[in-house]
Structures are given as C-alpha cells and as structure tokens.
Amino acid sequence: MPNYAPAFSVSEYQRRLSLVRSQMAADGVDVLFVTNPSNMAWLTGYDGWSFYVHQGVIIQLEADPMWWGRHMDSFGAHRTCWIPDERVLSYSDDWVQSDERHAMQHLAAILADLGYGGARIGVEMENYYFTAAAMDALRGALPDAAWVDSTNLVNWQRTVKSDEELAFMRKAAAISTKMIDGIMDRVAVGLPKNELVADIYRDALIGVEGAWGDYPAIVPLLPSGPDAAAAHLTWDGRPFQANEATFFEISGCYRRYHAPLCRTVYLGDPPSEMRHAEAAVQRGIEAALDSARPGNRACDIAVALKAELAKAGIDRQGRVGYAVGLSYPPDWGEHTVSLREADLTPLRAGMSFHLMPALWMKDWGLEITETIVIREEGPAECLADVPQTLVAK
C-alpha cells in the first residue's frame, strides 16, 4: 500500500469506479485503457510528471485497477495510488522512445495475458497523451480486438463533484483570490511582465492557510492593449504601459483541482466603451448565475448571459464556459459540458464550471470570470471572492 496518502478515501475511489464500470457496460466495453492523466488520478490517485511517456490505467469490469507505465515511475505509483502494490505494472527503459519497439506492444501483451486479446477494448482516442503511433501499435499487436473510442467515458463521470472534491476546489479558489489580489496590488506602469508573473507563481505555490499551492494546468495569461484581442497569449519582458488594459487569466490549484478566475486592469482612465462592456458583462454574469440551477440545461446559462450582452449591442460568439475540476497540463477544462446554445446537458447539483463571458474586441480585451458550482437550490455559487469589476489603476 502507498507510503504517501492518496487524496481521497478508498471508498471514494470505489464510488468513481462504479460509475465508470456502469458506463463501460452500457457501451459494451470489456476493458478500458485510460491515458488521460486527469482520469488516471481521479481513478487511482496517481500523481506524477510522467505523462510525457506512455502510461495508463487498466480498468476491468471486476478487480482493482492496474497502473501501467515506465519502471522508474512505478515507484511514484506505489507512493500515490490506493491500489495494491501487485496491481502496479511497468516496462523497462528499453521501451522508451525506441525506434525498434513501442511501449504499447508491452501493454498489448498484458491485455492478452488477461484474456482480452479478442475483446472490446476502450481507449481514449481524442486525447493529448494517446498518439496515432500508440493506436497503430495496439492494433498490430492485438489484431483480433475490437477498438472502442472511449475518449470521454471517464470525463463524463467526473462532472458532478463529491463534497470532498468541492472542498479541494474551494481551497483552489482561495488561492485564486490571493493571486488576483496580489496582481491588483503589484501591477503598475513600467513593471516588467515577467517580474509580475514571478510573483503570481509565488502566490500560487505558497497558497493560503490550510492549502499549499500545486502547479496549474495552464500558465498565467496576461496580454495587454491590442494583444488582449487574442485569448491565449502569455507574457514577455516588456513593461506594462499606461492607458492599456490587461486581462489576467489564472487559477489556483490544490491537489490538481482548479478554480480559474479572470480579472482585467486598466492602467489609466478606462474608455467609455470598456466601462459599457464591463456593465454588460456584470449583468450577464448575474443572469447566468440565476439560470445555473438544477433542472435547467447548459444552454440556458449561455442564452441568459448572451441576452444581456446583446442588449448592450455586444455579439458574443462561441461558448461562455466549460466544466472544470481536476486537471493536468495543457488544459484545466474537463472536455465535457460546454456553456453554449447547442449543449442540452441537464444541470445537476455539484457540477462545476468556469463561467467565462470574456470579450475579445478589435484592439482590446476584457475578462471578468468566475468558477461556479451548481447548488441544490437557487442560483449557482461563485467559489472565489473578488469584485466583478474592471479595475482602474
């Protein structure tokens, strides 16, 4: 058993396995191979920076999961997973980045030994960590197997958070609040961006009382002026300029759980068009929170928010949020529910979203966002505690 306590109780992991196995049975999947590190952690507790090599978790309809990966990383599995030591399997470095063999051939031999050579095997095909070469190697080694695209099978079981998970997200939100407060205190004309980012990371990693900071799945995003028309720029060494707006997209992280939060600073007197947009976004957030109730649908949140923006003459395209929770780089989204008009997913208490009515205009950007949780009754809860304003400084 592990020397390092997993994040949750064994009963919590068993609850999650039950959800996954029910969906496997419904999909006709005999065995599931999970490579998304977020799903690996959610099912076993495994936590390590090893997702640059082939690894995964084997989920059977009965019996405990099996962790499989590089031998040197198996020691991390022994220390972080709840599963018995004998369920940790590994391959030698001969299989790592080799031109002569592929690690998935090693996995295929394990699956064959378990009796799955001709089974319906689920794999996460649309996944940052599962390559075309991996799929080819598995097909070549197990020619009689039927391959099932189970890309988000586990992800969908993660959408409703347990009380224990929400406790972690609230800790992450407290760190997010500290990070934004630190940004507002420090940002100033002439300050090089990289120096501010260094302080952002310090706040993120020191954390708050009762919650140390983990590394977030996305780096801080902080484009300024015309650059803020682009959603995903990071930073450089240039200083902040007067009469420019900068949005800050950050997230605190506690034991891999995130609570993204965005705010915008204008160094000077904001123009009227930005104040107009700020007011519209504030009304949109209020309407969205009121629509974010059990029994409504994901699309209802998007419709309510965009209706308020439309009243202000703002045509906001695209989704206005997405499911969040436990994640690893390069993304803190869960790849399931999107807050957009076409998503009819029913809302359930315990679902968590990054509500993101960000505006990227021709030569400026404005982001005021919240991580929210659907309550049993009433409007959604905002996890962070930061005024929803455009800050002028």
Which pLDDT score, from 0 to 100, does residue 148 have?
98
Is the model's pLDDT at 183 over the cut of 80?
yes
Q: Model confidence over 98-131: pLDDT tens digits?
A: 999 999 999 999 999 999 999 999 999 999 999 9
**pLDDT tens sequence across 289-304:** 999 999 999 999 999 9
pTM, two decimal places: 0.96
What is the band of 265 on the pLDDT scale with cuts at 50, 70, 90?
A: very high
pLDDT at residue number 6: 85
Rounded CA-CA distance 224/245 in Å is: 6
Q: How many CA atoms lie within 13 A of 248 on its CB side?
A: 27
Instruction: Tell me the pLDDT of the chain averaged across its residues.
Output: 97
Each residue of 37-89: pLDDT tens digit?
Answer: 999 999 999 999 999 999 999 999 999 999 999 999 999 999 999 999 999 99
Alpha helices (runs of H) in the chain, residue ranges in sequence order: 10-27, 37-44, 71-80, 103-113, 132-141, 153-157, 163-186, 193-206, 272-291, 298-311
Say which CATH topology domain 163-392 has: Creatine Amidinohydrolase (3.90.230)
pLDDT at 5: 74
Superfamily per CATH, domain 10-157: Creatinase/prolidase N-terminal domain (3.40.350.10)
pLDDT confidence of residue 2: 44
Q: Give 207-243 pLDDT, tens digit per residue.
A: 999 999 999 999 999 999 999 999 999 999 999 999 9
- Which tens digit of pLDDT belongs to each residue from 10-28? 999 999 999 999 999 999 9
DSSP lists the bridge partners of residue 122 as 32, 148
Name the token pair of 271: 């123009």
Taking the domains of the chain in order of start, what are their residue ranges? 10-157, 163-392
Are domains 10-157 and 163-392 of this chain identical in fold?
no
pLDDT at 3 over 60: no
Q: Does the structure show a pLDDT above 50 at 325?
A: yes
